[in-house]
Structure 1
Amino acid sequence: MELRHLRYFVAIAEEGNLTQAAERRLHTAQPSLSRQLRDLETELGVKLLLRGPRGVQLTAAGRAFLDPARAALLQVEAATAAAQRAARSEKAILVFGFLAGYEMIWLPDVMRVLREDLASVEVVIRSQSSPELAEGLLCGKIDVAFLRPDKGEPVLAYRTLTNEPLIAAIPRSHSLAASDTVHPQDLMGGPLITVARETAPYLRAAVESYAARSGMVLNVSHEAENLTTAMSLIASTGIPCLLPLSAVNLFPPSVIARPLKAPVPTVALAVGYNTTNASEVLHRFLDRIEDLVKDVTRRTAASVAAAEDRPIAAA
C-alpha cells in the first residue's frame, strides 16, 4: 500500500464522486483513479466504495478505513513540515496559533516570556479559527495554539487557561447600556449578532445553550466570523452580541460590556499542542503557562473595568 492509495481514497470519499475527485483534487484521469482504487481494495481484501447513480457511497469497511487514512496522511504532513523547518534553519522555531482576536490579548505576554527564557527562538504567528488551529497542530504546521479545547483527537493535549464568562457587548446608545445586569429575555427579545458556527462552534454552542435555558429563540441579525468582525458589526449596526469576557480588550469606544444574569455561560480557552511534538523549545514554553495566566488575568480585569465604565476588583 502506498500513500497515493490513501490520498486517492480520501479524495473520493470526501468528494463523493470519482470524476470530481479526479478532476478537482487529484488532477488525474478517472480510469487511472478507478484502477488505483481497485488495487487498494484488492490489497485490503474488502470493498470500500459502492458506485451509484448519484456518485459513490462508503461501505461499512470504507467508513472504518476513512478516519485512520486521514490520520496517516496528517502524520506524513507533520513529518514533512518538521523536516522542512529543520532544513531551513538551525535556529529554533516556534509556530504559535491564536484564535482570531486573541493574539492581541495573549501575544504581548507570550513575547515577554520568550524574551526572558527563549531569546534565540524565531517566532511565527498564525491567526485562525479554532478548527483550523486544531488541524494545524495535528499536521505539525503549528507547535502551540491558543484555542477552544476539543477532546476528539487523542494526540492533542490541552491545558485550560481560563473558563471565560460571556458578557453582553452593547453599543453605548442601546437601551440596555443603562442596565447593571442584562437579562437574557431583554437581550434576546430583539435582534442579536452571533458568531458563525463554522469558525466558532464552541462559542456559538454556548450562546445557543444560554438561549435555550432561558426559554428564548435566537433572533440572528448578522453572523460574524471572528471577534474583530463582531466588533465592527456591533459598532455599525447598533445591535448587541454575546462574547467572551476577554473580548473587552478589543472594544472600540462606542461599545461597552455588561454582565449577564446568572447562571452565566462560559467558554474555555486552552493552550493546545501535539503530544508527539518532541520540541524542547515547546516544552520550555509550556512550563511558563501559569505566569502567562496570572499576567493576562490581571490585565483583562483592568480592561473590563474600563469597558463597564465602573471600578472592578482585580482578579
Structure 2
Amino acid sequence: MELRHLRYFVAVAEEGSLTVAAERRLHTAQPSLSRQIRDLERAVGTPLLVRSARGVELTPSGRVFLDHARLALAQVEAAVEAARRAARPDKPTLALGFLTGQEVDWLAEAMRILRDELPNIEVTVSSQHSPDLAQALLHGRLDVAFMRPEPGMPDLDYKLVLTEPLIVVLPSDHRLASQDAVALRDIVGETFIGMSGTAPTLRAIIDDCLQRSGLDIPQAHRVDNLAMAISLVASTRGVALLPDYARNFLPWAVTSRPLAGERPAIDLVVGYNRANGSPLLRLFLSRLDRLAKRASPG
C-alpha cells in the first residue's frame, strides 16, 4: 500500500465518482484509477467502495478506512511542512491564524507576547473560518490559531482565552433598539439571520438556544460570516445573534443590545497541534497567562 493509494481513495470518496475524481482531482485516466482502487482493496482485504446509481458509495469498511486515510495524509503533510521549516534555520517562523475579525483584538497582544523574540523570528498571519484554521493546524500550515474549539479534532489541543456572550444585532432604528436588553420572545416574528455550516460551533450554540427557548423563531437566512450577517441585518431589517466581538465591526446603521435572560456564550481558544514540536510554539503557549489576564474583566 502506498500513499498514492490513500490519496486516490480519499478523492473518490469525497467526489462520489471515479470519473469526476479522475478528471478533476487526480488528472489521470479513469481505468487507471479503478485499478489503483482495486489494488488498495486487495491490500486492505475487504471492499471499500461499491457502485450505485449515484456513482460510488463507501461500504461500512470504507467509511472507517476514510477517517484513517485522511489522518495519515494529514500527518504526512505536517511532516513535510515541518521538514521544510527545518531546512530554513536562518530565521524560524511562527505561523499565527485568527478567526476572521478576531485579529483586531488579539494580534497586537499576540505580538506583545513575542516582543523579546521578534528580532530573531518571522511571524506570518492569516485570517480564516475556524474549521479552515483547524485544518491548517492539522496539516502543519499554522502553528497556533485563535479559533473556536472545533469538534472531531482529536489531534488538536485548546487553551481557553475568552468566553464571550452572544449579543442581539439589529438595525439602529429598529423598534427594539430603544430597549436596554432584548429577550428572545421580543424577536418572534422578526427576520432572523442564522449561521451556516462554515461556523459550526457558533451555529450549534445559536440553534440550541432557539430550540431550548421553545419559541417559534425560524431562520430566514443562514450566512457564512459576520460581515454577511451584519449586511443582511441592515438590508433586510432583520436581527441576528452574534458573538460580542461583532460590535467592533458594526456600521452606523446597525447596533447591538445584550440578550436578556439566559445569555448563551461561545469560547475563543488558542488551538494547536499537539504533535507540533516547534520551540516557538512552546514559548508562545508558556506565555498565554498574559492573554488570560488581558481577557479578564477590568
TM-score tier after normalising by the smaller chain length: over 0.9
Query: 1:96 aligned to 2:96?
Result: yes
Higher alpha-carbon deviation: 273-282 or 221-230: 221-230
Q: 2:87 is matched with which residue?
A: 87
The residue that corresponds to 1:281 in the other structure is 280
Equivalent residue number for residue 255 of structure 2: 256
Report what 1:72 is aligned to: 72
Q: 1:118 to 1:288 in 2, by over 3 A?
A: farther
1:162 and 2:159 aligned: no
| Per-residue deviation, 1:109 | 0.9
Q: Choose 112-121 or 60-69, whichever is displaced more.
A: 112-121
Distance (whole Å) between structure 2 residues aligned to residue 41 and residue 181 of structure 1: 60
For residues 170-181 of structure 1, the aligned pairs below 5 Å read: 170-181=170-181
Letter of the aligned partner of 1:123 in structure 2? V
- 2:230 is aligned to 231
Deviation at 1:118, TM superposition (A): 4.2
Structure 1, 25-34 or 83-92: larger mean CA deviation: 83-92
State the partner residue of 1:307.
none
Instruction: Indicate whether 1:109 and 2:105 are aligned.
Output: no
Q: How does 1:11-50 map to 2 (within 5 A)?
A: 11-50=11-50
Gaps of 5+ in 2: none
Q: Which residue of 2 aligns with 1:7?
A: 7
1:132 matched to which residue of 2?
132
Q: 1:223 to 1:119 in 2, by over 3 A?
A: farther
What amino acid sits opposite 1:288 in the alignment?
Answer: R
**8 Å Cα contact 1:106/1:296 also seen in 2:** no
Aligned to 1:209: 208
Give the Å deviation of 1:294.
2.3
Give the counterpart letter for 1:129 in structure 2.
Answer: H
Q: Distance in 2 between matches of 1:86 and 1:221?
A: 50
In the aligned structure 2, how far is the partner of 1:204 from the partner of 1:282? 30
Identity of paired residues, percent? 52
Relative to structure 1, is the Cα distance of residues 291 and 73 closer, same or farther in structure 2, using a 3 angstrom cutoff? same
Query: CA RMSD, aligned part only?
Result: 1.8
Per the alignment, in what secondary structure is the counterpart of residue 257 of structure 1? Answer: strand
Q: How far did residue 78 of structure 1 move?
A: 1.0
Q: Deviations over 1:252-272 (max 9, x none)?
A: 333332111221111111110
Is there any run of 5+ residues in structure 1 with no aligned partner, and where?
A: 298-313
Q: Matched residues in 2 for 1:198 and 1:151: separation?
A: 13
- 2:291 maps to 1:292: yes
SS of equivalent to 2:256: strand
Q: What is the alpha-carbon distance in structure 1 between the residues aligned to residue 165 and residue 156 of structure 2?
A: 25
Distance 2:54 2:234 in 1: 47
Greater CA drift, 203-212 or 123-132: 203-212
Matched residue, 2:55: 55
Query: Which residue number in structure 2 is paired with residue 146 of structure 1?
Result: 146
Normalised by the length of structure 2, the TM-score is: 0.93
Query: Whole-Å Cα distance in 1 between the matches of residues 26 and 99 of structure 2?
Result: 31
